[in-house]
Chain A
Amino acid sequence: MRHEMTAQEEYLHQRKMRKIRITVLRLLLLLLLLGVWELTARLGILNDFIFSSPSRMAMCLMDMMKDGSILMHTGITLLETLVSFLLVMVLGVSCAIGLWASPMASAVLEPYLVMLNSLPKSALAPVLIVWLGANPTTIIVAAVSISVFGSMMTLYTGFRSADPDLIKLIYTLGGHKTDVLKRVLLPGNIPTIISNMKVNIGLCLVGVIIGEFLAAQAGLGYLIIYGSQVFKMDWVMLSIVILCIMAMVLYQIIQVLEKWCKKRF
């Protein structure tokens, strides 16, 4: 039996169809790209020794899964990224609180922060290698240095731009500076903190890969550099694809966190 849809049902149905259509088109686009890549490689239009191809990458993945090496490289890069991300967030939030709590400190440090933030951090990498050695510590320090200063400044600005009346309210209710921080600044800046997380997770991945280019014996960045030196382009392309997936998954995790926060706060 056909049943007449109400206007609301009709609207919901159309929205659902639109969502499905978008997902299908996205998948088709991916398949199309992979298909063209594969086909051109097979037909010899692209040299698959240099450009690799989806099937070669799949074979390469299978091989590397067997000896577990790809899991090891991916795991190391992921771990380094997560560690540096956590460090950036903890350092960023706590330093921003420190700057807010001490106007003197923030006034004194401001030009230094601006300088450190705009300094191209890749310039530091060779120095870090000399100081700390070619090891994961260097990679993590490099990744942290890329985003921590910007993060600090963004969050500090967020704290500073809180409505002065909200702060006055806390004082009229008999609160102190810590109450302002706990009840106005931190909860009020959750959107700022989350959007800052989105920026930082990407920057940390960039930092880790740069670090691995220069100072690693393992990890996807190492695999890319090493692969390109020995002309194993399958390794290089596979690593890049895995990086794409990793970046997307990490970003999605933060989006889930954002949705959860929006519901709660």
Chain B
Amino acid sequence: MSPFLEMKHISFSYHEETGETKALSDISLEAEEGEFIAVVGPSGCGKSTLLSLICGLLKPEQGEILIQGKPLEENSTNIGYMLQKDHLFEWRTIFSNVTLGLEIQHKLTPQRKNQVREMMETYGLGEFAQARPSQLSGGMRQRAALIRTLALEPEMLLLDEPFSALDYQTRLQVCDDIYKIIRQEKKTAILVTHDLSEAISVGNRIYVLSSRPATVASVIPITFADQNLTPLARRNSPEFSGYFNQVWKELEDHAS
């Protein structure tokens, strides 16, 4: 059986008058269904470009992207994308922010509304349905953004440094929360980050990218003795520092 997501020899460049910037060069990546993939690489190496390609916002110059064995364009698979910042609209209530995707796709049925309400209850935003984004803490806003993404029932989630705008403590907390939510909903997920600890604490496998133009420097499978550790617990387990050093060394070797 073919993997859930398959990227084959993807290359991509940005074109400007001043010249061509090669962002990705011959990238191949696979994700099995339900797998949590983490992609790390130096800042500006083209990690976000990778996600934009997977969700079809950009078209690769070379190579192909298959989802469940079919090319991206022929696929109707719902892909959820979480950006670095929550981007909740201040002129909407939390509820109407969270249902924005449903509204855009004309799927705002009473049944879906109830599902969203339940999700908000489950993840601690129930009483903030009518609040404005500015009344919520950073962590709550990020959870709202995740529910906005999940409301469309995506089969795969793309996370573009979704915690980077948060302060450190909130970041650990939100990372834990969001990891649990994604596991609970059994989604395939791809997290892009430059934070090695974050990658190790959530990933089943880590793709290490080199600096621009990004190539896959190495793929490191991550296995902890206890399968069900939360990201925070993983950080405290004995295997963690070993993986950290391994990923660190890979990055060192390929970043310069």
Spell out A's residues near B (CB within 8 Å): 163, 165-166, 168-175, 179, 183-184, 187-188, 190, 264-265
Contacts and interface: CB of A to CB of B under 8 A. Distances in A.
Contact of A172 (B55, B85, B89, B90): B55
A174 B85 contact: no
A265 B55 contact: no
Interface string B7-50: 00000000000000000000000000000000000000000000
B89 A187 contact: yes
A188 B91 contact: yes
B105 A173 contact: yes
A165 B83 contact: yes
Given A168-B83, A183-B100, A183-B104, A173 B152 contact: yes
Contacts of B103: 183
Given A173-B148, A183-B100, 6 more contacts: A163-B87, A166-B87, A174-B152, A179-B104, A190-B91, A265-B91
Contacts of A172: 55, 57, 80-81, 83
Size class of B's contact patch? 10 to 19
Interface in B113-164: 148, 152
B101 interface: yes
Contacts of B81: 172
Closest 6 CB pairs of A and B: A172-B81, A265-B91, A173-B101, A175-B104, A187-B91, A169-B87
B159 to A, nearest CB: 12
B105 A174 contact: yes
Given A183-B100, A188-B91, A169 B83 contact: yes
Contacts of A173: 100-101, 104-105, 148, 152
Nearest to B103: A183
A159 to B, nearest CB: 16
A264 B104 CA distance: 21
Contact of B57 (A171, A183, A190): A171
Nearest to A184: B89
A168 B57 contact: yes
Interface string B234-252: 0000000000000000000
A204 B80 CA distance: 48
Contacts of B87: 163, 165-166, 169
Interface string B64-96: 000000000000000011011101011110000
Nearest to B52: A168
Interface of B: 55, 57, 80-81, 83-85, 87, 89-92, 100-101, 103-105, 148, 152
Contacts of A187: 89, 91-92
A166 B148 CA distance: 14
B104 A170 contact: yes
A173 B150 CA distance: 10
A44 to B, nearest CB: 61
A170 B104 CA distance: 8
A175 B57 CA distance: 11
A265 B96 CA distance: 12
Contacts of B152: 173-174
A174 B104 contact: yes
Contacts of B83: 165, 168-169, 172
Contacts of B85: 165
A179 to B, nearest CB: 5
A198 B46 CA distance: 45
Contacts of A190: 91
Contacts of B91: 187-188, 190, 264-265
A265 B55 CA distance: 31
Contacts of A265: 90-91
13 contacts: A165-B84, A166-B89, A169-B83, A170-B104, A172-B57, A174-B105, A175-B104, A179-B104, A183-B89, A183-B103, A184-B89, A187-B89, A265-B90
B101 A174 contact: yes
B106 to A, nearest CB: 10
Nearest to A166: B87
A219 to B, nearest CB: 39
B153 to A, nearest CB: 12
A183 to B, nearest CB: 7
A53 to B, nearest CB: 51
Contacts of A184: 89
A171 B83 CA distance: 12
B185 to A, nearest CB: 17
Contacts of A264: 91
Contacts of A183: 89, 100, 103-104
B128 to A, nearest CB: 18
A184 B100 CA distance: 11
